Each structure stands twice: as C-alpha cells, then as structure tokens.
Structure 1
Amino acid sequence: MRNYILILVFLGLPSTLVSAQDYLFAGDRFPLLIEKNESRITGLGVEVTQQVMAQLGLNARFEILPWKRLLHMAREGSVDGVIGVYHTSRREAYMRFVEPPIYVDDVMLFARKDLDFSWKGDFRDLQGKRIAVVRGWSNGEVFDKQSKSLRINELESLDAALRAVGKGHYDLAVGNIRNARTVFERRNLNNVVEAIEPPIATLGVYITLSSRGRLHNHVDAFAQALGQLNDSGELKRLQQAYGLH
C-alpha cells in the first residue's frame, strides 16, 4: 500500500487521492464562516480549522453541503467536523462541541417595514403570525420549543424566507443577522425588510467534531489548540478580518 501511494504522488495525482489523513470538515453556505469564492472555500471557520489542524500536525479539507445532509453525515461519522453549528441537546448526542465558539450570532425576527408588529421578547406576540424558518436550522432551543405552537413554514434557505417576507407571503422570518445582511445586499431588501429588536436568541457558533468521525479522540487537543488561538488574540484578529466584530 505504501508503494502504491508513492506511485500516485510521483504521478502527480490529487492529494485527496493520496492522503488517507485528510480530515473532512464541512458546512452549508454560511456567509463569512464557510463559503465558496470562485474555486476556493474560504471563511472564518475554514481559517480557524486550518490553523488548529496545523497545530495538531493534521490536514483538513473542506466541502460545502446541504445542512440536513451534513447533519446526517455527522451522525454516521462520514464527516469529521462541522463548521457553523449552534448548540442543542439533540446535536450533542452525535457531535462534540469544541469550546470556545468561534463567533456569536444574534438570531432575529425579520418583518416588512410596513408591518404593524411589536416584539418585546414575549413569544405570545407571535401567535397567529405566518413565520418562515429555514429547514433543518435551529434558532435556539427556546424558540425551537416554542415553534411547536406557532404557524411555522419551512423554506430551503434564509434567502428564500426573507424574499417571501418581502413579498408579503409570510409575516415574519427567523434567522441570524450575519446571513441576513448578505441577503439584504444581494436581493436589495434593505428598504423593504428589517430586523426586529430584541434578538430572540444569542448563540455561539461552533466547530464540532463528529462523535463517530476519525477525530473523536482528538477533541481535547483540538480544544486546547483553539483555546490558544483565542488567548493569543488570533481568533479576534480573524474575526475582524472578516468583518465579524
């Protein structure tokens, strides 16, 4: 087997065919955390993972995958790590959450600017409202629990949810402000849809390791290396480089 790998290297074949030690990290298209720019996958989560893995002497490769499929892969261990995860007790059953979070998101309600709606944090104010959420996303365990008694409609993306609110198909959408800002700019929604204060949740954004993946025995070492990035100020520098303050 060793001679076979050396032959592949000599022939110049892609490293993904050569190295059995390329650990797979993946995420959905999460602006500024993990996204594809031309032929490269970039983002805060990608750079943090690369630095942590380099400290461990390990190689990482990255893919962007649909969120529900990615969570299934994490359950079965066919992906080693997931970038951009909010903590829930259900996810804790099959993913190890590595402290500290790499960023903190505000999860917001979004409405048309001409909607007569007041929100002070009381979920009873959401009764009767048509609410669009993203399929497979958690919006914090409190909202997830409350949503069972609300008029919830699942859409494939926050882009679709915000556009639907802008067209009046739904009263409200739920999602994080980081993703929403990108949609506002791309879809020219700034004069149509707005975020409603206060946030419904403030959630840490984590890199997780699959409990059944090849890195499940490296959680402590991964956390130590990530902690060093945080303590040294490098994590904050990377956040600022991506405009995440």
Structure 2
Amino acid sequence: MKRLLATVFTLLLISSGMTYAEKITAINDTWAPFISPDLPGQGIALQIVRAAFKEQGHEVEMTFVPWARSIKSVKEGRVDILVGTWWTKERSTFLNYSDDYLVNNIKFIKRADDSFEFDGLDSLNRKNIGIIRDYGYDDEFKNAVNFKKIATSNLINNLKKLTHNRIDLTLEDEIVARAFIKNEAPELKDKISFSTTPLSSNTLHITSGLKNPKSKRIIADFNKGLEKIKNNGVYDSILKTNGLM
C-alpha cells in the first residue's frame, strides 16, 4: 500500500510540473563581493543562485576551494555546479551553461601614475601582464602573442607585482578588484587605477559538468527559478541590497 501511494504521489508531481526538492552541491573559489564565505548570504552571486533554486524547491550546499580544484570537481561530475563561470569555447566542451544572471566588466589595473589606456590588443604591445591561472579570459586576449602573460594563483599576487614594478598591468572585474582592495589591501587603494575601457564584458553563469547525469535538469531548474525571481522582484531586491542598482 505504501509503495502504491508513493507511486501515485510521484505521478502527481510529474503531471503537475512540480520538481523534487533536492540538495545541489556547489563549489567555487572566493571572489568577493560575488562569492565569499565572509559576506551576507555568501555573496551577491550566491544570493541570486540560492534564490533561483529555492523557487524550484532546491537547497544549495556550498564549498569554497581554489579555482583550479573547483572547475576540476565539476568537470568530473563530483560536484553539481560552479556558482560563477564565464563562457569560453574550451569550457563549453565539458560544461553545461545556464542563462546568464550577472555581467562582469573586466578592466586593466595599472599603477596610479601610469597614463596607459586600453585601446584594443595592439595597445598592449610588449607589456608584461599579470593574469590568474585558469580564469576564463577573452579568447582573443588569451591567444594574443604581442604581449607577455604571467600567470599566478590570485589577485593579490598580481597587485603586489604591479605596485613593485614587476609587471605592467593586471586585470579583473572592477567590482571584484575594488571590493578586494577595500577589504584586504586598503594600502593599495591610492597606488592603482583602472582603465576606462574594459577588455570584455563577461556574462556570469552557473555551470554543471557534462559527465554529471543530473546536469541538464539542474541547469533547467536554475533557469526556471531565475526567470521566476526576475518576475517576482526578488532578483532586483538582491541587486539593490548589494548596491548594484
């Protein structure tokens, strides 16, 4: 009898379009103010992602580890989603992408006394540019050979190299970089400035590994939830609370 009732309930859920409540495992590196264990709701991006999944009855369980380990875990299907991912052609071969939920303006960071302004890749000729290993920079930028790209594991390393004249430029989402400097390295505030023109404007997505058998359903549920919170005002409320509107 119990088995029969369970089967009937399952059929009712399917016919009504309801979804099963599920725990979604998520992973990412710390990337304040979008993703951080030290911020309200663990950051703007996680507030949006959790709200979208909540609309579908799902709970998000978050783990913070370095980026290279994060993307490997999702690629191999051991964790359900990366919270914040930029699109690249390479990543699309092993990740399913959601609809975008934020936009990041990636700008060059220079020393405060540097008159440099970004005006296309030719303006980077013979520059030494600090990048972060395995980040999803614009493909044209990654493939360019008219400047040198020097990889490290995080933003603070690049900022220190920049202010000590060991590199000419670095780059990061402007909101992320300003938040990091304000909270973690305020002594650098007056030592750096940002280019006016961004290298790129990158849309932000959650992603799930193609090897994960739940991948398509997870992404579909997120997209449905995202549409709902955009329609019911929750999305705009999150942006306003975090000073993005």
TM-score (norm 2): 0.83
Partner of 1:32, secondary structure, is coil
**Structure 1 CA distance for aligned equivalents of residues 122 and 177 of structure 2:** 24
Contact 1:108 1:177 in 2 (8 A): yes
Can you list the C-alpha shifts for 1:60-102, whole angstroms capped at 9, x where unaligned? 2001111011111121101101111111111112222111x22
**Structure 1 CA distance for aligned equivalents of residues 210 and 148 of structure 2:** 34
Counting only pairs closer than 5 Å after superposition, residues 86-97 of structure 1 correspond to structure 2 as 86-97=86-97
Partner of 2:162, secondary structure, is helix
**Structure 2 CA distance for aligned equivalents of residues 191 and 125 of structure 1:** 24
Can you list the C-alpha shifts for 1:197-238, whole angstroms capped at 9, x where unaligned? 101101111122222235313122321111121233321221
**Structure 1 CA distance for aligned equivalents of residues 83 and 150 of structure 2:** 25
**Structure 2 CA distance for aligned equivalents of residues 183 and 23 of structure 1:** 28
Identity of aligned residues (%): 17
2:141 alignment partner, one of 113, 133, 143: 143
2:32 corresponds in structure 1 to: 31
Contact 1:81 1:210 in 2 (8 A): yes
1:107 corresponds in structure 2 to: 106
Partner of 1:24, secondary structure, is strand
Can you list the C-alpha shifts for 1:23-43, whole angstroms capped at 9, x where unaligned? 2111110112211128x8611
Deviates more, 1:205-214 or 1:79-88: 205-214
**Structure 1 CA distance for aligned equivalents of residues 188 and 94 of structure 2:** 37
TM-score (norm 1): 0.83
Equivalent AA in structure 1 for residue 136 of structure 2 = S
Change (3 A) 1:237 1:142: farther
**Structure 1 CA distance for aligned equivalents of residues 165 and 46 of structure 2:** 36
Contact 1:130 1:170 in 2 (8 A): yes
Contact 1:139 1:175 in 2 (8 A): no
Contact 1:23 1:214 in 2 (8 A): no
- 5+ unaligned residues in a row in structure 1: which ranges? 1-20
Contact 2:75 2:208 in 1 (8 A): no
1:220 corresponds in structure 2 to: 220
Deviates more, 1:63-72 or 1:40-49: 40-49
Contact 2:26 2:83 in 1 (8 A): yes
**Structure 2 CA distance for aligned equivalents of residues 164 and 240 of structure 1:** 35
Equivalent AA in structure 1 for residue 101 of structure 2 = I
Count residues with an aligned counterpart.
Answer: 222
Contact 1:229 1:235 in 2 (8 A): yes
Can you list the C-alpha shifts for 1:166-185, whole angstroms capped at 9, x where unaligned? 12111100111122102322
Q: Which has the higher strand share?
A: 1
Cα RMSD (Å): 2.0
Deviates more, 1:125-134 or 1:202-211: 202-211
2:196 corresponds in structure 1 to: 197
Partner of 1:198, secondary structure, is coil
1:164 corresponds in structure 2 to: 161
Runs of 4+ in 1 over 3 A off after TM superposition: none
2:73 corresponds in structure 1 to: 73
**Structure 1 CA distance for aligned equivalents of residues 139 and 231 of structure 2:** 29
**Structure 2 CA distance for aligned equivalents of residues 210 and 236 of structure 1:** 29
Equivalent AA in structure 2 for residue 192 of structure 1 = K
Contact 2:117 2:196 in 1 (8 A): no
**Structure 2 CA distance for aligned equivalents of residues 181 and 133 of structure 1:** 17
Change (3 A) 1:189 1:96: same
**Structure 2 CA distance for aligned equivalents of residues 212 and 41 of structure 1:** 29
1:128 corresponds in structure 2 to: 126
